[in-house]
Structure 1
Amino acid sequence: MPKTIFITGAGSGLGKGAAFGLAEKGHRVIAPVETAPQVTALREEAKAAGIELEVFKMDIKNPQDLAQMLDYDFDIFVANAAVNEGGPLGEVPMSNFRELFEVNVFSTLETAQIAAQKFVAKGEGKIIFMSSMAGIMATPYVGPYTATKHAIEAIATTMQKELEGFGVKVATINPGAFATGFNDRSAEAKWKWYDEKIHFTKKEDMEEADKALEDQYDPADMIAKMVEVIPLDSHKFRTAYPEETEQQMKEEEAKRWEMDI
């Protein structure tokens, strides 16, 4: 049965791919984007593909933009909008760190609260938080983003318990490293402020860590998994993909119980 699905941050990456894929499957997709230029670009691309999307500007940090959520009725809410930035936690500028939390945690929770209020009022609905393998794993020099996704994991797990009695489902989707450009932009961002004459973190250590981005997965596979899972009435609380990433996440969690310092 077709669903009405609201996906934040649908202007690029996995969110955009899922919006297109879900619309192709016959679902009504509400696809807000962060900036006005993205509105034009996404509308034109959807029209060229013969796909119907409801596209408008909704920067989740902007209260006026956020109020637009109240005008829509939907069955499933996907909290996808996020920003990414890497860098050593011992030296990352706090303004950068705060910005990530402002978007990925505070504003994301605010959107989820609006969805929750709607769903509780009608006694049904589903909230999906786009988390990450970084919600469970911890990788050097990806700490700022990792911290926000660990917070999202806690938020999702808690809300799942709190909303269950109201008929509202909560889940996460945890992608591995997919080549959408999102991770690459994150790796580049730290070089804007890092100065090896000032900072103690070794440049070569960060450059070595960045090499992991040379072998990322095809986003089409993750998009297909999202299109499969998002409309379902029942599925696992956490969808980690691909299976290799799921295994890595489980092993990482287990290691922490045995880890010495």
Structure 2
Amino acid sequence: MIKTILITGAGSGFAEAAAIGMAKAGHIIIATAQIAPQVAALRNKVAELGLDNIRVEKLDLLDPYDVAFAQRFDIDVLWNNAGIGESGPISEIPIDLVRRNYETNVFKPLELTQGFIAKWMKQKKRAKIVFTSSMGGLFTPAGWGTYVSTKHALESIAEAIAQEVAPFGIKVQTINPGAYLTGYNETMADTAFRWLDDNRNFTKRDELRATFDALLASPQGHLDPQEMIDRMIAIVPADTGKFRNVCPQFVEDMLKEAQATAWTAEI
């Protein structure tokens, strides 16, 4: 069945490629991007591909006028994909950066979602909500605590919403990518060095940089994103499937092992 799908944060990365893939599969796509240059670039790309079933619009979740405009669309699927990431030790990170990460990754997607749920309830419409979470929504590596805690929050929000709206025919899923090479993790790793100061912080810049570089250099740190894109193209429009969708399989296995180990961890 053809679906009308609204995607946030589709100006780059996974969601841009998945938007194009789902359009090629026949779905009607409203691909949104945060800033005008991303909108223009994606419109040009869509025109070059001859895809007249993708509409590209600006949607900055922090702009109430953008959000109000987006909620006029009549859609079958809301894919909450937009997000930002702050790295660095959460024991030292400035609190305003934590708040900003939660505003973009948790509060604003929730606000957008609540608006569509209210609309669907009035319409008695069966619909679907998808959240882009992360492998980091299910475990917490040091140095990434701020970002992954927002994804932990999304996991709880998605589980709660799923139970609350199931009686009304609205479905909820999460997508949990591993460390695919899209540039997102590499860019996020740089954010801590805007504020880390060896004269003030006990976390030293060179030591943290070495830790991040080692992680990002490992084969598990730069997986081919096409595998995840293909999964997203299949998962987002589907009427059935798993609530949680971790990819690739070895990451799912690692997360299950880490969660089991948490029950025996000692201080």
- TM class, shorter-length: over 0.9
Checking the alignment, whether the CA contact within 8 Å between 1:89 and 1:143 is kept in structure 2 is yes
Distance in 1 separating the partners of 2:205 and 2:196? 9
Q: What's the TM-score once normalised by structure 2's chain length?
A: 0.95
| Higher mean C-alpha deviation, range 102-111 or range 206-215 | 206-215
* Identity within the alignment, %: 41
Q: How many pairs align?
A: 261
| Alpha-carbon offset, residue 212 of structure 1 | 1.1
Tell me, what secondary structure is at the counterpart of 2:33?
A: coil
Instruction: Work out which of the residue numbers 224, 229, 249 in structure 2 matches 1:218.
Output: 224
| Alpha-carbon offset, residue 205 of structure 1 | 3.5
Q: Which amino acid aligns with 1:45?
A: K
Residue matched to 1:260: 266
**Alignment of 1:95 onto 2:96:** yes
Distance in 1 separating the partners of 2:12 and 2:112? 19
Where in structure 1 do 4 or more consecutive aligned residues deviate above 6 Å? none
Residue matched to 1:209: 211
Checking the alignment, whether the CA contact within 8 Å between 1:115 and 1:127 is kept in structure 2 is no
Residue matched to 1:161: 163
| Alpha-carbon offset, residue 87 of structure 1 | 0.5
Distance in 1 separating the partners of 2:98 and 2:67? 22
Distance in 1 separating the partners of 2:111 and 2:207? 37
Q: Which amino acid aligns with 1:10?
A: A
Residues 211-238 of structure 1 show CA distances to partners (whole Å, capped at 9, x for unaligned) of 2112311111110000011111110100
Residue matched to 1:243: 249
Q: What's the TM-score once normalised by structure 1's chain length?
A: 0.97
Instruction: Work out which of the residue numbers 170, 176, 184 in structure 1 matches 2:178.
Output: 176
Distance in 2 separating the partners of 1:65 and 1:33? 11
**Alignment of 1:228 onto 2:230:** no
Residue matched to 1:21: 21
Checking the alignment, whether the CA contact within 8 Å between 2:193 and 2:205 is kept in structure 1 is no
Note the residue ranges of structure 2 that are not aligned, 5 or more in a row: none
Checking the alignment, whether the CA contact within 8 Å between 2:196 and 2:204 is kept in structure 1 is no
Distance in 2 separating the partners of 1:221 and 1:232? 17
Residue matched to 2:114: 113
Note the residue ranges of structure 1 that are not aligned, 5 or more in a row: none
Distance in 1 separating the partners of 2:80 and 2:24? 20
Distance in 1 separating the partners of 2:258 and 2:109? 26
Q: Which amino acid aligns with 1:213?
A: L
